[in-house]
C-alpha cells in the first residue's frame, strides 16, 4: 500500500511545495480476452493497486518527473516534443501529455512524483494506471477538466503513438471508469460501458502471478491480430456486412467457419465464442450467479489454450492446481498470455487453503514462488482529496 503522507512529504522535500495527489488503478480482466481489438466485449474490474502521482503546477511549460519505484528522474518541454518509442518509462508520461494537447487540452508545466504498487509484468495494466494517473494530474494542474472517456482515449493514443503498442481500449477505460463493487462490461466498438454489480462478500477475486513472461508475447500478439483480420476478410465474402469478428454469431460461425483454413479458423472460433461467454458472464453477475461465471471462466481458459494458443505451461499449471482446490468456482489466464497471471473466484472461507495449495504445488512443479493477490473491485481514477 502507498503511504500518501510519505508521498506528500517526499514531494515537499524535493520541491518545497505541497502537492495534490491523483490515483489510477490497475485492473484484472474477469473474461473477454483478445476480443477488444475485434470490436467485441470485455469484462474487467479495477483492482486495489494504484499508481499515485503527487504534483504541483509550474509557471513554465516544463514537466519534471521522478519515479520513486525506479529511483529515476526525467523531464521534457511541452513545446519541444521528444522522440517517441524510446523504450523507456518516460514514453508513457510524455505520450499522454502529447495526446492531451493534440486533443485541445492546453497544459501547464508541472513537477510530478510517481509511486505505484501495481505489480509490473503481471498483466495487471501498470502501464494504463501510469498513463491515466499522469493524464488526470496534468489536466487538473492546468486548471482544465476532461471527461473520463476522453482521458481514456488519450491514454490509448499515448500507447499507440509514443509507446508503440497497438492496445485495445479496455485498460484505459477501466482505469478511468471503474466503480467499487462492480465490474465493467465494455463494448469495444461503441465504447458503451455498463457497470455490473460484483458481490464478493462470500467469493473473492484472487490473482495468481506466474512470475514468468515469455518473449513470444509481443510478436504473437501481432500475429493473432493479423490472423483475425484475415478471417474477417474471408468471412466477408459470404457475410458482406462483417466488419469485425464481433459481427459473427456462433450460429453463423458454425455455418461458415469451415471456409477458413487452420489455424485461422481456431483463432476466429475463440473470439466468436469468447464474446458470447463474456455477455453470458455479465448476465450471470447481474443475477448474482458466481458459479455460472466461474464455469464460463473455465471455458474461456480452454479456448485461449487450445484455439487461440496464447497460454503457457505455467498458466495452465496454475489453472489445473486451482481446479483441484476446495472452494474454487472458476480459474483462467488473464491478459495477453504467454505468462502473467490467472484470475480465480475462490470462496472466502477457503482463501488460506487456496493460498497454501497454489504456493506449494506451483513451487514444487516449477521452483518458482507465485505472487498471490486478493482484491476487491475498486473505483477509477480520481484526485485524492
- Per-residue CA distances from 92 to 7, 20, 68 (Å): 21, 20, 16
Strands 339-347 and 110-116: unpaired
The answer to whether the CB of 24 falls within 8 A of the CB of 175 is yes
- The answer to whether residue 79 is catalytic is no
The answer to whether the CB of 57 falls within 8 A of the CB of 108 is yes
Phi-psi sector, 209: left (phi>0), alpha (psi -120 to 50), beta: beta
- Per-residue CA distances from 305 to 294, 340, 345 (Å): 17, 14, 19
> Which residues, 6 or more positions from 81, have their beta carbon under 8 angstroms from its beta carbon?
94, 98
> Which residues, 6 or more positions from 275, have their beta carbon under 8 angstroms from its beta carbon?
32, 35, 38, 40, 41, 245, 246
The answer to whether the CB of 52 falls within 8 A of the CB of 2 is yes
How many CB atoms lie under 10 A from the CB of residue 135?
33
> DSSP assignment, residue 59?
S
- Per-residue CA distances from 313 to 223, 319, 328 (Å): 20, 10, 20
How many CB atoms lie under 10 A from the CB of residue 147?
9
From the list 171, 209, 247, 307, the catalytic residue is 171
Catalytic residues: 171
Amino acid at each position: 500500500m502507498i503511504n500518501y503522507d510519505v508521498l506528500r512529504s517526499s514531494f515537499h522535500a524535493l520541491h518545497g511545495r505541497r502537492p495534490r495527489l491523483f490515483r489510477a488503478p490497475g485492473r484484472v480482466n474477469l473474461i473477454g480476452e483478445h476480443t477488444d481489438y475485434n470490436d467485441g466485449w470485455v469484462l474487467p474490474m479495477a483492482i486495489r493497486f494504484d499508481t499515485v502521482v503527487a504534483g504541483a503546477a509550474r509557471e513554465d511549460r516544463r514537466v519534471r518527473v521522478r519515479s520513486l519505484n525506479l529511483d529515476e528522474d526525467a523531464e521534457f518541454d511541452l513545446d519541444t516534443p521528444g522522440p517517441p518509442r524510446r523504450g523507456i518509462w518516460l514514453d508513457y508520461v510524455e505520450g499522454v501529455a502529447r495526446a492531451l494537447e493534440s486533443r485541445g487540452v492546453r497544459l501547464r508545466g508541472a513537477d510530478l512524483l510517481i509511486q505505484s504498487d501495481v505489480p509490473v509484468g503481471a498483466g495487471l495494466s501498470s502501464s494504463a494506471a501510469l498513463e491515466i494517473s499522469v493524464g488526470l494530474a496534468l489536466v487538473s494542474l492546468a486548471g482544465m477538466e476532461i471527461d473520463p472517456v476522453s482521458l481514456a482515449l488519450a491514454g490509448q493514443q499515448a500507447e499507440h503513438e509514443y509507446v508503440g503498442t497497438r492496445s485495445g481500449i479496455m485498460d484505459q477505460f477501466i482505469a478511468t471508469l471503474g466503480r467499487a463493487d462492480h465490474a465493467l462490461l465494455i463494448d469495444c466498438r461503441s465504447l458503451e460501458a455498463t457497470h455490473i454489480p460484483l458481490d464478493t462478500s462470500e467469493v473473492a477475486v484472487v490473482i495468481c502471478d506466474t512470475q514468468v513472461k515469455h518473449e513470444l508475447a509481443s510478436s504473437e500478439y501481432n500475429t493473432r491480430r493479423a490472423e483475425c483480420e484475415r478471417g474477417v476478410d474471408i468471412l466477408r465474402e459470404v457475410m458482406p456486412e462483417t466488419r469485425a469478428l464481433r459481427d459473427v454469431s456462433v450460429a453463423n460461425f458454425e455455418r461458415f467457419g469451415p471456409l477458413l483454413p487452420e489455424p485461422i479458423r481456431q483463432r476466429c472460433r475463440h473470439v466468436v465464442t469468447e464474446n458470447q461467454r463474456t455477455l453470458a458472464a455479465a448476465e450471470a453477475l447481474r443475477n448474482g450467479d458466481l458459479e455460472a461465471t466461474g464455469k464460463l471462466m473455465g471455458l474461456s481458459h480452454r479456448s485461449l489454450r487450445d484455439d487461440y494458443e496464447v497460454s503457457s505451461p505455467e498458466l495452465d499449471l496454475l489453472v489445473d492446481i486451482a481446479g483441484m482446490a476446495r472452494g474454487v468456482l472458476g480459474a483462467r489466464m488473464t491478459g495477453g498470455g504467454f505468462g502473467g497471471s490467472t484470475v480465480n473466484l475462490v470462496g472466502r472461507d477457503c482463501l488460506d487453503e487456496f493460498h497454501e495449495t497454489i504456493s506449494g504445488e506451483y513451487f514444487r512443479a516449477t521452483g518458482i514462488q507465485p505472487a498471490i493477490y486478493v482484491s476487491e473491485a475498486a473505483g477509477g481514477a480520481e484526485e485524492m482529496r
